[in-house]
Amino acid sequence: MQTIPVSSDSHESLTRDMGAIARIGAVPAILRMICDETGMGFAAIARVTDTSWTACAVHDRVNFGLKPGGQLELRTTLCFESRAARMPIVIDQFSADATYHDHHTPAIYGLESYISVPIVLPNGEYFGNLCAIDACPAKVSEPRVVRMFEVFASLIAMQLDNEMRQWSTEDQLTTERENAALREQFIAVLGHDLRNPLSAVNATAELLVRRQSDPDLVIAGQRLKRTVARMTRLIDDVMDFARGRLGGGIALSLQSIADLSSRWQAVVDELRDANPGRRIVCDIANASPVRGDPGRLQQLLSNLLGNALVHGAEDTPVIVRVTQDAAHVVLTVSNDGNPIPEHLQRRVFEPYWRPPSSAPGGGLGLGLFICKQIVEAHSGTLEVCSTAERGTCFTVRIPFMLQSANPI
């Protein structure tokens, strides 16, 4: 038998194809049945390309000597001709066959009977051949035998197609995971490296604001400071997101907070000053002490209120209300405007997600995601309800006694 080693340039794809055949549990039984039904001593599934013939699975009763992964010189096989014609080749007895009695294949391998049926995938791609050989004559041209080979070849093709679809899906998922990891590492580095130049810009803005003798410079400085503040919030969001995604979690500095209501009132006042054209109605009751991170809870309200100001109707107020029930401080932020469609409400807390109606140049789509992380780190809950009749309302419940932080 003339064999050649598997070529290194196709080793990966051939290994994959042999693995796909090996995962088809019925293949050993198919090859055994072929030998039982035909009386032939060797049956195989071969991967046949333009340049190579590779055994993927074999059933050998006659010590032909070919193992899975072994290769034959392509042009010494009749599979080469079957592939070119995309037709079965069936020979009961080479020495008595008018077409193939002088062919080189039986002379090389000492054959008398031969059958090879193409395995063609549903998309038209040629995979290889289902074949059987023997040194003695065999009645393989009988219609029932040929039909058996064709049915088995079709079943193998369908199973291979399923395997290849799964490979494609897994490859896409792997690529997406790798891209996501790189993206998150990139934004973490970017957020960190932007802090120094942003500090320099803020220092310049401070100098301009102090130039009281030139009102225009003061106005420019104040505008620049507002821009710096907005960029700082964006960077903080990016860094919080990166820490959560890369394993650091949302950091909490826990303490007893007796004045949470006043801290949240300060957030409302700050956003009122930053949005003089908008009306914010505030109803903040004195809340019972909670154990938590005051800065993070202020960030929570700032993000929720900022989101409402961006997406709410400009001619109606945004309403901030703080109450409490038996076990929780309850914060709600409500606004009128176009409701969030019900099928999208479950997505509002996903990172990078922004509603389709968002104007270009808005935020990164991280604010509500970070709100969710902050609330969950405080063992609380965050929910959204949005209808055309009642507007959009985000409801936060923070327990009074937080025993430990839950890293996200």
Structural domain spans, the chain: 3-170, 177-245, 255-399
The CATH fold of domain 255-399: Heat Shock Protein 90 (3.30.565)
Q: Which two tokens stand for residue 365?
A: 């789509």
State the angle between helix axes of 260-274 and 294-311 in degrees (0 to 180), rounded to the nearest 10: 40
How confident is the model at residue 167, as a pLDDT? 67
CA distance 55 to 52: 10
**What CATH number has the domain spanning 177-245?**
1.10.287
Q: Which residue has the higher pLDDT, 215 or 318?
A: 318
Residue with the two structure tokens 């505030």: 282
Among 81-90, 105-114, 148-157, 170-179, name the one with the lowest average pLDDT. 170-179
Q: What are 112-141's pLDDT values in tens digits?
A: 999 999 999 999 999 999 999 999 999 999
Q: Provide the b/e sequence for 320-346 (b: ≥16 CB within 10 Å).
A: bbbebeeebbbbbbbbbbebbeeeeee
What global pTM score does this model have? 0.48
Mean pLDDT of 188-205: 71
3-170: which CATH architecture? Answer: 2-Layer Sandwich (3.30)
How confident is the model at residue 321, as a pLDDT? 96
